[in-house]
Amino acid sequence: MDNSGCRRRRQRVVLFPIPFQGHINPMLQLANILHSNGFSITILHTNFNSSYTSNYPHFTFRPILDNDPKVNNLSKLGSRGAGDILSGVVLLNQYGEESLRQELDQMLMASKQEQEPIVCLITDALWYFTQSVADTLKLPRIVLRTSSLLCFLVFASVPFLDDQGYFKQVNSLFDEEIIDSDLKNIILASDENNFKKAGSSKSVKDLEERVLEIPVLKVKDISKMKIKGQTDPSAKILANMVTQTKASSGIIWNSFKELEEPELEKIHKEFPIPSFLIGPFHKYFPASFSSLLKPDRSFMTWLDEQAPNSVLYISFGSASQMEKQDFMEVAHGLANSKQKFLWVMREGFVKGSEWIEELPDGFLDLVGERGRIVKWAPQQEVLAHRATGAFWTHSGWNSTLESICEGVPMICSPFWGDQPLNARFVSDVLKVGVYLENGWERGEIADTVRSVMVEEEREDIRERAMCLKEKVNVSLMKGGSSYESLGSLVGYISSL
């Protein structure tokens, strides 16, 4: 979709993604969307995720920040999984300001000489430190939020929900040592006084209760976010993200109006800056170009041979990890379901294991008879395949959107963060999936997999999923909500 032609080719937009797969994909897709609408593109990127740059010869890439020798911890980042990257995000937010300012300053001067003015900086919402840098350089900053509007509203409500007692007895991500304790102290040490102590006097809530203020959610959805309350280090990150998003020149959402209409109304009220819902981004350009891992395609011949809607696709995203005992439940549940499957298992996905060595005896015989296991798949292609009947997902927002776009029903097993919110939204609001909300138990897993895969029983879910797929397509067509919003965004950036 090209709303503009080449008229704006000589305006440059600088984009800065967070180095998680689920954040890189939408940012690079957005970059492609803007490029095809006439803008030149520079991507600022951290060193440890530079593998995909050769797929974008039409962009300029500039490595920044994490090679700064002044920041010791940063030199070690990149190889130890999600917590490691999360640590990097926290540290760069803490220490990155001066380096980014110098970098952007140089780029702004060069762009004037090249007569290709940089018109704005687009950063992931989690790069909250970039707002003050943009302000001092008088460069408008637009925020890309890579998850749902609902999730952002919930994140913005953490202090209020805490005061209402919704976070009692929650384990924090930090308790699980996803982020090390030194870093936790760094986060807590800065402007501590701005954060109220937790300590709601409200009693512990019943986990099955609906959240009065956000009735879409149950109390347990909030607890599964793994935020301990407003004094939790991750709550502090979110609070900064919300404040600096409010201070920005606009928000771009990877969502579409028809999906989240009530939430959009609230966003307009609570965040009175321009909002652009132009998603789903991957419908313009696929995510595989920005994959950090090489997709395995060796199973495609096998998938081609399978009957329509007969294969369960399983992937729990790029960053989640599972305990050994839960992994055993998944494997047994899957075996007992008697359904065909394609299972993405990243190296290191099972805590304390290299790859699939913990699989129960005999399971590998199944793989061959009725399944395949791969380390990374071309997910959008798999979801679009006629043999794929359902998607067992961790409910990351990209995966959720990718499933919605192909009309594929979901089984939702969220781990943390926005995932439990997405899972509830998919199962209770959109009703295009089933939420496995009692954890990992082989009997329930086998029953749920069977019920979603056996067509007669789940025709209702399948019909709604197809209906939603149609809505996506309409929103992207000329006159549709995402199409129009993209036109507004292009006009807005051009006018900055």
409 binds ligand UDP per the rule CB under 6 A: no
Show Cβ contacts of residue 402 under 8 Å, excluding neighbours closer than 6 positions.
280, 282, 287, 379, 380, 383
Type of residue at 350 = V
Among 3, 14, 17, 25, binds ligand UDP (CB under 6 A): 25
Of 82 and 211, CB closest to ligand UDP: 82
Q: Would you count residue 403 as binding ligand UDP (CB under 6 A)?
A: no
- Within 8 A by CB and 6+ apart from 160, the residues are 213
Note whether 471 and 358 are within 8 A (CB).
Answer: no
Instruction: In angstroms, give the least distance from the CB of 374 to ligand UDP.
Output: 7
Least spacing, CB of residue 22 vs ligand UDP, in Å: 2
CA-closest candidate to residue 134, choices 119, 121, 115: 121
Return the residue of 19, 22, 159, 420 that touches ligand UDP, per CB under 6 A.
22
- Residue 42, interface with ligand UDP (CB under 6 A)? no
CA atoms within 13 A on the CB side of 229: 19
Among 377, 387, 472, 490, binds ligand UDP (CB under 6 A): 377
392 near ligand UDP (CB under 6 A): no
Q: Which of residues 422-441 bind ligand UDP (CB under 6 A)?
A: none
- Per-residue contact string for residues 327-356; x = within reach of ligand UDP by CB under 6 A: -----------------x------------
Shortest Cβ distance from residue 369 to ligand UDP (Å)? 22
- Cβ 45 to ligand UDP shortest distance, Å: 17
Q: Smallest Cα–Cα separation from 96: which of 182, 12, 192, 18?
A: 18
Part of the chain binding ligand UDP (CB under 6 A), chosen from 19-27, 168-176, 273-281, 444-452: 19-27
* Contact (Cβ atoms closer than 8 angstroms) between residue 132 and residue 27: no
Give helix then strand counts, H and E, for the chain: 19, 15
Which of residues 123, 130, 255, 318 is near ligand UDP by CB under 6 A? 318
**Number of shown-chain residues binding ligand UDP (CB under 6 A):** 21
DSSP track, 470-487:
HHHHHHHSTTSHHHHHHH
Q: Which range, of 30-38, 315-323, 455-463, 473-481, touches ligand UDP by CB under 6 A?
A: 315-323
CB of 291 to ligand UDP, least distance (A): 5
Binding of ligand UDP by 397 (CB under 6 A):
yes
Please give the Cα distance from 2 to 309 (Å, whole number): 34
152 part of the interface to ligand UDP, by CB under 6 A? no
Label residues 338-349 b or e (16+ Cβ within 10 Å = b): ebbbbbbbbeeb
Query: Is there binding between residue 399 and ligand UDP (CB under 6 A)?
Result: yes
DSSP state of 350: B
Is 229 near ligand UDP (CB under 6 A)?
A: no
Cβ-Cβ contacts under 8 Å for 206 (sequence gap 6 or more): 219
Cα pseudo-dihedral 358, 85, 256, 295, rounded to 10 = -50
23 catalytic residue (yes or no): yes
Question: Which listed range, 101-109, 136-144, 246-254, 397-405, lies at the site for ligand UDP (CB under 6 A)?
Answer: 397-405
> Does 317 interact with ligand UDP (rule: CB under 6 A)?
yes
* Catalytic residue (choose from 23, 35, 385, 394): 23
- Cα separation of the two ends of the chain: 22
Told to check if 286 binds ligand UDP by CB under 6 A, we report no
Number of C-beta neighbours around residue 115 at 10 A: 7
Catalytic residue, candidates 35, 45, 124, 232: 124
Question: Both tokens of residue 413?
Answer: 């097993």
412 is a site residue for ligand UDP (CB under 6 A): no
CA distance 122 to 229: 29
The vertex-43 CA angle with 38 and 49, nearest 5°, equals 140
Considering only 99, 172, 244, 291, the residue that binds ligand UDP (CB under 6 A) is 291
**354, 436, 425: which is closest to 390 by C-alpha?**
436
**134, 319, 328, 430: which one contacts ligand UDP (CB under 6 A)?**
319
Closest of 426, 340, 419 to residue 385, by C-alpha: 340
Residue 366 or 405 with smaller CB distance to ligand UDP? 405
Which of 19, 396, 414, 420 is the binder for ligand UDP (CB under 6 A)?
396
Minimal distance in Å, beta carbon 112 to ligand UDP?
A: 36
Q: Does 408 bind ligand UDP (CB under 6 A)?
A: no
Positive or negative CA dihedral for 291, 330, 179, 254? positive
Q: Does 388 bind ligand UDP (CB under 6 A)?
A: no
Phi, psi of 252 (to 5 degrees): -105, 130
Residue nearest to ligand UDP (CB): 22
Beta carbon nearer to ligand UDP, 26 or 229: 26
Give whichever of 244 and 419 is closer to ligand UDP, judged by the CB atom.
Answer: 419
Residue 410 makes contact with ligand UDP by CB under 6 A: no
DSSP 75: G
Query: What crossing angle do the helices spanning 149-156 and 233-246 adopt, rounded to 10°?
Result: 110
Pick the closer one to ligand UDP by CB: 289 or 492: 289
Distance set, CA 261 to CA 146, 258, 410 (Å): 17, 6, 22
- Tokens representing residue 495 in the block: 């006018």
The residues annotated with a catalytic role in the active site are 23, 124
Residue numbers of the site for ligand UDP (CB under 6 A)?
20-22, 25, 287-288, 291, 315, 317-319, 344, 376-377, 379-380, 396-399, 402
